[in-house]
Chain A
Amino acid sequence: MAVTRNLDKDKMVVVEGSYSVAHSVKVCKPNVISAYPITPQTHIVEDLSQFMADGEIPNCEYINVESEFSALSALVGASAVGARSYSATTSQGLELMHEVLFNVSGMRFPVVMTVVNRAVSAPINIWNDHQDSISQRDTGWIQLYAEDTQEIADMTAQAFKIAEDKDVLLPAMVCMDGFILSHVYEPVVLLEQDLVDKYLPAYNPEFVLDSKDPKSFGAFADPSTYTEFRFLQEKAMEAALQKIEDAANDFHELFGRYYGGLIDEYETEDAEIIIMAMGSIIGTIKDVIDARRSKGEKVGLLKVRSFRPFPKEAIKKVVKNAKVVVVLDKNISIGLNEGALFTETKSCLYNTKIDVPVVGYMIGHGGRDIPVGTIENIIDEAKGVISSGIKVESQFTDVREELI
């Protein structure tokens, strides 16, 4: 379970979520930043540009580009020569990067990128859901999701540590909910430079582009070798499962804060109803769970921090004794009528002896607000699943019938 931050109150300042991320990037001492501004990611790159202009990020190049495609392409070159590389984007910008995302992961460059989650057009919508990053789940990037501004600040440093680990060497998306976290002002401990220096070693890759010692990256692989590249990427993801836990534990030891590793649990031990979700909705769910627990209802929360690699074993362990699992998704695979976390949770329970009903809700699309009442209704429906079985396996939440 997450370790409370109240002890840190004297170190906290009230800043915007985006600023806390930009600050974390700064103290991680990147060598190259390349990003293209897009709502709601803009404040992060504005803050980083200001740090650059003020000379606060030494030994770093900020490359201005004309698109997100170029931003990430620039980091392919930067990372190849051994530079710690960072970008930030969202929505349409991330989709434009799609081709380059495979290049970065295929060449095993540990680029870290903040994804400020936003809905995807059309229709155009600048508000939050997870469709943008979920749509990139098969690109070979680690994907981590944060519940509040402190976690996103802390997770940024953790992501560099995980990605650059020599047993991993995979790029990482650090995902935060657009506006809900990027534009919120709340108390946060800005990462201390001296502690980050202890936490995050310098990036010294074994293989770099060097004219004195020429090598190729991402060169031709014919059918006799291509499979092995994919196999090794999958192996690296498997290694990342442990490294994500380690990075969280090391962080806990040094900074005193812990938000879970691959997952986090809240009131799950004896829970009959377990809600699963990712991102900023977690806080609201915890408040609802506290209220339900005070009435004696056995409700718990399984927060998924790492969506890639997908924490199958950790999830199985938590849900195996529940009476119903309820999965909330801010995304949909159109044509399947399921969100990705729901589909994959069901998938990892299949071919096992665990027999727990799993139901899914697609929720909060395009920034649709998620009030407490919506979570309350979902819990009430879950009680119905326990008493009389699954009636609807996966459904949209809060559909406005009058508009259809």
Chain B
Amino acid sequence: MKEIRIHGRGGQGSVTAAELLAVAAFADGKFSQAFPAFGVERRGAPVQAFTRISDRTIRLRSQIYEPDYVIVQDPTLLEVVDVASGAKDDGIIIINSEFGPETFKLDTKATIMTVDATRIALDIIGRPIVNTVLLGAFAGATSEINPKSIQDAVKERFPGKVGEKNAEAIQKAYDMMMEAKA
């Protein structure tokens, strides 16, 4: 089982990202589970959402304390939240940032990767909505999920032009991560 923790701020679509990831993983033939950290959601407040992906039915209902992967939508969160908390040593932390991974000194053995999701979102979608872009980066960085499954899930949730633009941004983030790994 792989466990993913998404950090964001209220309004950035962290919960939606977790749900889309669960939909995409299931389309890939896996079992999945997505849930919010059940905070009192306020715009701008730090929020968390979780996704589990497994080959078997998922029964565990606790929050995620030792994630395989962490997605950080907003680098300013690093000043207020320990995003690396419990991250597995062989895990990956993906941060939305214009700067390289070496910029971030986190207390973790997990690999840090960065992607300028805000720039990609502004260039392609025209708005700084990064949640779906980061899912593309996640697919590229981890190879846990088929990027097309994410694109399909996003297009189903946001039909029409919005979905198409998001799918394009997902592809861009995916390609950049694949390049960064190579």
Contact = CB atoms under 8 A, between A and B. Distances in A.
Interface of A: 4-6, 12, 14, 16, 126-127, 148, 179-180, 183-187, 280-284, 286-287, 367, 369-372
B62 A185 contact: no
B12 to A, nearest CB: 18
Contacts of A367: 38
B62 A369 contact: yes
Contact of B26 (A6, A14, A179, A369): A14
Interface string B43-67: 0000000000000011111110100
Q: 9 closest pairs, A vs B, by CB? A: A283-B59, A185-B34, A184-B35, A179-B38, A371-B62, A14-B23, A186-B33, A185-B19, A14-B26
A267 to B, nearest CB: 13
Nearest to B29: A9
A180 B57 contact: no
A372 B40 contact: no
Contacts, number: 65
B32 interface: yes
A362 to B, nearest CB: 17
B59 A127 contact: no
B60 A187 contact: no
Nearest to A283: B59
Given A6-B57, A186-B33, A371 B63 contact: yes
Contacts of A12: 26
Contacts of A287: 59-60
Output the residue of B22, B57, B59, B61 with the most chain A CB within 10 A. Answer: B61
A371 B59 contact: no
Given A284-B61, A369-B62, A371-B65, A187 B31 contact: yes
Nearest to A6: B57
B86 to A, nearest CB: 11
A367 B62 CA distance: 11
B10 interface: no
26 contacts: A14-B19, A14-B22, A14-B26, A16-B19, A126-B40, A179-B38, A180-B35, A183-B35, A183-B36, A184-B34, A184-B35, A185-B18, A185-B23, A185-B34, A186-B31, A186-B33, A186-B34, A187-B26, A187-B32, A281-B61, A282-B59, A283-B59, A286-B59, A367-B38, A370-B61, A370-B62
A184 B34 CA distance: 6
B56 to A, nearest CB: 8
A284 B62 contact: yes
A183 B38 contact: yes
Contacts of A4: 57
* A12, A180, A184, A372: most-surrounded residue (chain B CB, <10 A): A184
B58 to A, nearest CB: 7
Given A14-B22, A369-B63, A186 B38 contact: no
Nearest to A17: B35
Contacts of B35: 179-180, 183-185
A372 B33 CA distance: 17
B106 to A, nearest CB: 23
